[in-house]
Amino acid sequence: MEKSSFVDYIRIFCHSGNGGAGNAHFMRVKFNPKAGPDGGDGGRGGHIILRGNKSLWTLLHLRWHKNILAEDGEKGGKNNCTGKDGKDQVIEVPLGTIARDEITGEKEVEILEDGQEIIWLPGGRGGLGNSHFKSATNQAPEYAQPGEQGQEGWKLLELKVLADVGLVGFPNAGKSTLLSVISAAKPKIANYPFTTLTPQLGIVSYRNERSFCVADIPGIIEGAAEGKGLGHRFLRHIERNSILLFMIPADSPDHVKEFEILRKELKEYNPELLDKQFLVAISKSDLLDDELKMAIRKEFPEHISMLFISSVKEEGIEALKDKLWELLHQVA
């Protein structure tokens, strides 16, 4: 597979700053060289912070920054002066990013909003200076606290595309062609499987200046839930979609079987995906006459909502947009 500029999974090493040590200092003033402890506290170590940025749609910018190190806090000064805090390291990520610990696999942070900031790895606290330990029985403490150590470890950042509608179908089902017709997106289109190797996003203009977002997910094949084809690499992006649009080409040898295979792969990957609202679109329907459309309609159970569309001739596109908007409104 050719190297892509779409990066949705990355491993990085993070180290938040160590806290600065407290100062064990004694005040020196004229005529009173032992005026008492005045050691300041150490500064806080720098945090590692994740910030959502709606202008980003990939983790590519982190490919060459695998070590994220925040500054240590400075040591406390005399005259009860607190040391300077270490500089925070802010990592900007696209919306829909999940941060996990590599060893435990536990989800630690999830970024869903533009400008959202979450402290991922807090810096160590600064140590207390000796002025804090002065008491009636110990008026000249000669010790101060060391700063706390920062946190470190290998972490995983995983992107799950945020979109209102996810296009689900076998390779060459016409998903990219549809996206190019209903939005300004320009995905690669060709008459062979796996033309789309990365998720493509498009904003669909709707009535009264409204809009919604559609994601073209790379084609699923039978066995994808087990890792075949593009497998798990892109199935996770479907988890973020509010509505699923199953696309089945008119020239499929068995429309219902293809639909059931797609549903089976989603179920095996994550059973909760079958709880989402969905719509079935028979693409390339310019190949069908009314009699064949009626026959295909009878193949599916009556409760399944279906539409016939032709992206090339732009037939049924407005009806599709209307139905998707209706389903999105129900979900909201």
From 129, 144, 159, the end of a domain falls on: 159
Range of the domain at 243: 165-331
Among candidate residues 117, 11, 7, 115, the one with its CA nearest the CA of residue 55:
115
CATH number of the CATH domain containing 54: 2.70.210.12
Instruction: List pLDDT tens digits, range 242-276.
Output: 899 999 999 999 999 999 998 988 888 888 888 99
For residues 62 and 205, membership in a common domain is answered with no
Give the C-alpha separation, 25 to 123, whole Å. Answer: 25
Instruction: List pLDDT tens digits, range 289-316.
Output: 999 999 999 999 989 999 999 988 989 9
For residues 98 and 10, membership in a common domain is answered with yes
For residues 218 and 75, membership in a common domain is answered with no
Task: Say which residue, 331 or 175, is predicted with more confidence.
Answer: 175
For residues 120 and 193, membership in a common domain is answered with no
Strand partners, 10: 157
* Number of domains comprising the chain: 2
CATH number of the CATH domain containing 174: 3.40.50.300
Classified as helix, coil or strand, 94 is coil
pLDDT at 34 over 90: no
For residues 72 and 181, membership in a common domain is answered with no
Which DSSP state fits 303?
Answer: T
From 159, 179, 205, the end of a domain falls on: 159
Task: Say which residue, 161 or 247, is predicted with more confidence.
Answer: 247
Mean pLDDT for 52-73 is: 89
From 105, 135, 159, the end of a domain falls on: 159
pLDDT at 1 over 70: no
9-15 vs 152-159, strand pairing mode: antiparallel
Q: Quick one: tokens of 80?
A: 């009860």
For residues 100 and 192, membership in a common domain is answered with no
For residues 153 and 169, membership in a common domain is answered with no
For residues 155 and 175, membership in a common domain is answered with no
